[in-house]
Chains A and B, each alone.
Chain A
Amino acid sequence: MIESQGPVANTTAPKVRSLTKRRADHKRAAPLARPLSPGPAGHGQVRILIRSNADILEARRHGRELALRLGFSSIDCTLIATAISELSRNIVLYAGHGEICVGEDHPMGATGIVITAVDHGPGIRDVRSALQDGYSTSRGLGLGLPGVKRIMDEFEVTSKPRQGTTVTVKKWKSN
């Protein structure tokens, strides 16, 4: 069962929008303190097309920038950027191309960063195995997905053979 990225975008986007609105009310005269991410994605979300190695760097740079802006600690910023790196490399490696969405989530005053990796590649045949350390179909170390699961707070993967894979991960700001 594959979940398109629709539901994810729908749960995060309105929250982000309402937050921006609330902030705007507080400081009505103040100009927009932080530039909203470029591109048509809007709602504080950045969408990066992943086609090559260079896009991996681009994706993790955006992730780190957003994490810094949201006030994550430097260690968390590195963990987040690394997770993006692993997820986008999986896209290049297994699906050839796909996209990474980096956005924010603010349920009940918390601050979180949400990363969604979507591809329409071959899918993961055995998700449970793919989440175990050392399982790899690409001669890698097999630390990618399980590693990402460990360094993030929330992790969800849906995949359907020949249709693609969606991985959604979140990290919450502590304190």
Chain B
Amino acid sequence: MDRIPVLRMGSLLLITIQVDMHDKLALQLQDDVTHRITEYGSTGVLIDISSLEIVDSFIGRMLANVAAMSRVLGAETVVVGMQPAVAITLVELGMSLPGVRTALSVEAGMELLLTAAAETAYGFDDERSQA
């Protein structure tokens, strides 16, 4: 397997990472997500990392990159399902993933993305985007 599937669901992209990712796979995913956003005009990206037992600085950087690139392309990213041990490791490593939205579950993440999309559509987001 040399690709992590990026699924389209309406205006959102869903990614579930279920394998221990090596670096090339992570870079490939980063590429794929940005291409899908432009291809489908997605407004949100949900990345489920609940199966990931390790998020080191490389994977952490990939997640931050995806969030940053998506934002530039007009899509919000939310990372869901982070294991407690992974959260502790990331903070200890010095990576608190600034700019990456997180939620505990897929459901909560989905809600976050849909709310964000609605806010943007109605122009409620102006203040935050300036901050």
CA distance A85 to B85 in the complex (A): 15
Which residues of A does B touch, CB under 8 Å? 53-54, 56-57, 60-61, 64, 74-75, 77-79, 81-82, 85-86, 89, 133, 140-141, 143-144, 146-147, 150-151
Residues of A within 8 A of B20 (CB): 57, 61
Say how far B54's CB is from chain A's closest CB, in angstroms: 5
- Bound-state CA distance A61–B23 (Å) is 15
B59-99: CB near A (< 8 Å → 1, else 0) gives 00100000000000000000000011110110011110000
Query: Which residues of A have CB within 8 Å of B23?
Result: 53, 56, 89
B window 22-44: CB within 8 A of A: 22-24
Q: Are A53 and B88 in contact (CB under 8 A)?
A: no
Query: Known contacts being A89-B58, A143-B94, is A79 close to B22, with CB within 8 Å?
Result: no
Contact B93–A147 (Cβ < 8 Å): yes
**Which chain B residues have a beta carbon within 8 Å of chain A's beta carbons?**
20, 22-24, 53-58, 61, 83-86, 88-89, 92-95
Contact A151 B93 (CB under 8 A): yes
Known contacts A53-B24, A89-B23; A150/B92 CB under 8 A: yes
Number of A-B contacts (CB under 8 A): 69
Contact B92 A78 (CB under 8 A): no
A77 to B88, CA, bound (A): 12
Which B residues touch A89, using CB under 8 A? 23, 56, 58
Given that A78-B85, A133-B94, A151-B92 are contacting pairs, would A86 and B56 also be in contact in the complex, using a CB cutoff of 8 Å? yes
Q: How far is the CA of A133 from the CA of B92 in the complex (A)?
A: 12
Q: Evaluate whether A85 and B54 lie within 8 angstroms (CB atoms) in the complex, with A57-B20, A79-B89, A140-B61 already known.
A: yes
B94–A147 touching, CB < 8 Å: yes
